[in-house]
Amino acid sequence: MSRLTKIARSASPGTSTQFRKHEYGGGGIRHFLRDVLAMANASIEGPRYIVVGADFDGNGKKHLYTVDAEDFSGKPSYQSLANEYIEPALRIRYEPVLIDGKKIGVFEIGDCQDRPYMMRIDYSEKLRRGDAYARMNDAAIKLGRRQLQVLFERKFRDSVSAGDIEVGFPGEIIHKDLTLRCFNLSLLPSADAGNKLAQLIKIQSAARDHDSTNVIARLTHARLYGTDDPYVDRSPDELKDEMRQIRHKYRDEDRHYLYETNGERVQLVVCNQGQEPILDASLSIVLPNHNAFHVADRLPNVPTKNGFIERTPDEIAAYPSVSLKDDSVHITSKVGDIPVGEPVEIFSSPLRICAGQELRGKRFGMRFALHGQNLRTPAKGKLRLMFAK
């Protein structure tokens, strides 16, 4: 029996374990964030668990309810939600387990040594920046000023100063600026395929308007795709439908072009110049977003003779957590313990970035915050990405 299965089967509601009848889903994000905060701030040692698909009746009897498989698909991405709204960073794992023929889910929240955990930004009117909860017995209690003060005082006791921490780009010295190359994104596979379809649509529409044969369309197809690609007669409307699906169809090819063929691998390092190691450190980064600025939210799939295949679980897990917003990019990474006087790489797998030619000569600010169990306050600062002319 696995550890998570044992927790789901044998544990009872308490400070370290919560039971919930139904999955959170997109409609339960506020409750998810509140529950995660409460579990993270609980006064216990070790990991904490939220069991989804199980509850207890008035007689203490456990009832199981099957959790929809879609809830484990990453939509919503519970880890990304925690990264976006909660600080400092938390490690959350969500796994399905099978009990008595029913598939339920278990959230495991890693050992939380950097309390208090609080809302980083507003989620709603009922869950605002600075809000914090703690689980006490089997209830989530909102923390007031006095409780937060106790947690902060405990955190600051025997802590390391943020002034002893340096974060930057690796080299003979730690750099604060990094120059990235820019690439012609009109050569993306989807863009190239879309341009060919646009030419076919134009030719076919013109030929039909003039009551012409499809000879011109055939010749255009041969010029664009080569004679080895057989011609298929399609109407302009059919070609337009294909055009609307072009990005989805070439998704893997585009990601390979952006993050393998042309993408820059960006690494950061942190140097602890204090007197003692930093414990259980994590780094969060915020960058501006732009339609010519591409940051991989996961590693691209691997090309094979028969298409693309997914990376191994270890490769996927090693890549930092990336959340893409309309105007910003949020990145978080668990660093672990940082020894004294020795530069430590932030990312187990470097960040993948690709910039288009529109960004030539521009600069992006890169704000970071390093959290640690024994850091008195987060070490914050700003780096710069510079795009080559």
Q: What is the pLDDT of residue 214?
A: 62
Torsion of CA 334, 108, 76, 320, to 10 degrees: 10
Read off the pLDDT of residues 139-178 as tens digits, 9 standing for 90 and up: 899 999 999 998 887 777 656 778 889 999 998 899 999 9
What is the share, in percent, of the chain residues with pLDDT greater than 70?
87
Residue 30's H or E segment, with its range, is helix 29-40
Model confidence at 236, pLDDT cuts 50, 70, 90, reads low
Q: What is the pLDDT of residue 347?
A: 96
Q: What is the pLDDT of residue 159?
A: 67
pLDDT at 210 over 60: no
Mean predicted confidence (pLDDT) in 364-384: 91
For each of the domains in the chain, give its residue range(s) and CATH number, in order of start. 3-156 (3.30.950), 162-185+260-387 (2.60.40.10), 189-249 (no CATH)
Mean predicted confidence (pLDDT) in 6-11: 89
Q: What is the pTM of this model?
A: 0.59
Q: What is the pLDDT of residue 326?
A: 87
Read off the pLDDT of residues 59-103 as tens digits, 9 standing for 90 and up: 888 999 999 999 998 888 999 999 999 998 888 999 999 998 999
Model confidence at 213, pLDDT cuts 50, 70, 90, reads very low
Is the peptide bond prior to 339 cis by the omega test (within 30 degrees of 0)? no
Place of tokens 């690796």: 170
Place of tokens 């006095």: 146
> In whole numbers, what is the pLDDT of the chain averaged over residues?
87
Cα–Cα distances (Å) from 148 to 55, 114, 116, 131, 324, in that order, read 30, 13, 7, 10, 31
What is the share, in percent, of the chain residues with pLDDT greater than 90?
56
> How many other C-beta atoms lie within 10 A of the C-beta of residue 229?
10
pLDDT top residue among 149 and 225: 149
